[in-house]
């Protein structure tokens, strides 16, 4: 193999990753799988797509070695092949926000100003959790909480928060978190809690960013 052939081969392999990630649906699938392993049916439901379409996207991701699959009876479960796959998604997201003004404009128009709900950074939440002044609330679906969550967090999925609000102890500020910066669950939780007279803020990132930073994670037994 000559130098040109070598470079064509290497960059061709790199391009497989880029091609696999070049779909909005596949990027969203990677972010969903960063929460934990999921069956294809649940992933299709999250995407609002037929199972056949979702399976096709997962096949492309699997061929690029970005996800892995296991069979459990009649169900196929998918997971990220490596924690660093999420780093790829996070880098794409950061570059888009910094260099594609129209991308950030869409985010801003939908979520509003990000500082309106006084978000906490990860470092601030770590300090608040240590001194016991914060009640950490995970508002993702229960299966995602079970797959991994911030230590000490209470699980109340956003769909159940209104009916379970009375179960939250008073006297501490609630810090809600969900899947990531584009997930609206934490926004909705803080708005609901504040409307009920509770002190509440949101984590500025989500669970995958927490885990990617090397911070402690608990798994439900």
Average pLDDT for 179-203: 92
pLDDT at 1: 76
Does 75 map to a domain? yes
Q: Are 69 and 13 in the same domain?
A: yes
Does 99 map to a domain? no
Does 40 map to a domain? yes
For the chain, the average pLDDT equals: 91
Average pLDDT for 46-57: 96
d(CA 104, CA 123): 25
Q: Are 78 and 164 in the same domain?
A: no
Strand pairing of 200-202 and 67-72?
unpaired
| pLDDT class of 113 with cuts at 50, 70, 90 | low
Of 156, 189, 205, the C-alpha closest to 31 is: 205
- Domain CATH number, residue 53: 1.10.10.10
Q: Are 124 and 187 in the same domain?
A: yes
Q: Are 117 and 190 in the same domain?
A: yes
Q: Are 55 and 127 in the same domain?
A: no
Q: Are 33 and 124 in the same domain?
A: no
Domain span holding position 77: 3-86
d(CA 149, CA 71): 25
CB 80 within 8 A of CB 86: yes
Q: Are 75 and 118 in the same domain?
A: no
Does 132 map to a domain? yes
Choose between 76 and 98: higher pLDDT. 76
For the cut 60, the answer to whether the pLDDT of residue 114 exceeds it is: no
From residue 77, give the alpha-carbon distance in Å to each of 81, 138, 184. Answer: 12, 23, 25
Choose between 112 and 194: higher pLDDT. 194
pLDDT at 182: 86
Last residue of a domain, one of 86, 121, 144: 86
Please pick, among 58, 85, 176, 178, the residue that the annotation labels catalytic: 178
Q: Are 115 and 206 in the same domain?
A: yes
- Domain CATH number, residue 148: 3.40.250.10
Choose between 130 and 35: higher pLDDT. 35
Q: Are 115 and 208 in the same domain?
A: yes
Does 130 map to a domain? yes
Phi and psi at residue 65, in whole multiples of 5°? 65, 30
The count of domains in the chain is 2
pLDDT at 96: 87
| pLDDT class of 116 with cuts at 50, 70, 90 | low
Does 147 map to a domain? yes
pLDDT digits (tens, 9 = 90+) for 9-33: 999 999 999 999 999 999 999 999 9
Give Cα 18 to chain centroid, integer Å: 20
Phi and psi at residue 34, in whole multiples of 5°? -70, -20
pLDDT at 188: 93
SS3 171: coil
Does 142 map to a domain? yes
Q: Are 59 and 143 in the same domain?
A: no
Find the helix or strand (DSSP H, E) in which 27 lies. Answer: helix 24-33
| pLDDT class of 79 with cuts at 50, 70, 90 | very high
Q: Is-catalytic flag, 183? A: no
CB 205 within 8 A of CB 181: yes
Q: Are 161 and 70 in the same domain?
A: no
Does 106 map to a domain? no
Portion of the chain with pLDDT greater than 70, in percent: 95
d(CA 132, CA 67): 38
Residues paired with 70 in a beta bridge: 77
d(CA 81, CA 95): 23
């Amino acid at each position: 193999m000559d130098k040109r052939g070598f470079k064509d081969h290497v960059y061709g392999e790199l391009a497989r990753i880029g091609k696999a990630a070049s779909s909005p649906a596949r990027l969203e699938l990677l972010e969903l799988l960063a929460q934990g392993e999921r069956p294809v049916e649940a992933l299709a439901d999250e995407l609002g797509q037929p199972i056949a379409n979702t399976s096709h996207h997962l096949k492309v991701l699997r061929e690029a070695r970005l996800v892995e699959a296991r069979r459990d009876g009649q169900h196929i479960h998918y997971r990220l092949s490596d924690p660093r796959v999420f780093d790829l998604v996070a880098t794409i997201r950061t570059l888009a926000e910094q260099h594609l003004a129209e991308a950030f404009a869409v985010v801003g128009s939908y979520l509003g100003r990000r500082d309106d709900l006084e978000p906490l950074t990860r470092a601030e939440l770590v300090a608040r959790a240590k001194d016991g002044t914060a009640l950490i609330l995970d508002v993702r679906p229960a299966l995602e909480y079970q797959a991994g969550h911030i230590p000490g967090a209470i699980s109340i999925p956003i769909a159940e928060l209104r009916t379970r609000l009375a179960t939250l102890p008073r006297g501490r500020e609630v810090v809600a978190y969900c899947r990531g910066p584009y997930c609206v669950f934490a926004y909705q939780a803080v708005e609901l809690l504040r409307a009920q007279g509770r002190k509440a803020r949101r984590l500025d990132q989500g669970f995958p960013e927490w885990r990617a930073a090397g911070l402690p994670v608990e798994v439900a037994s």
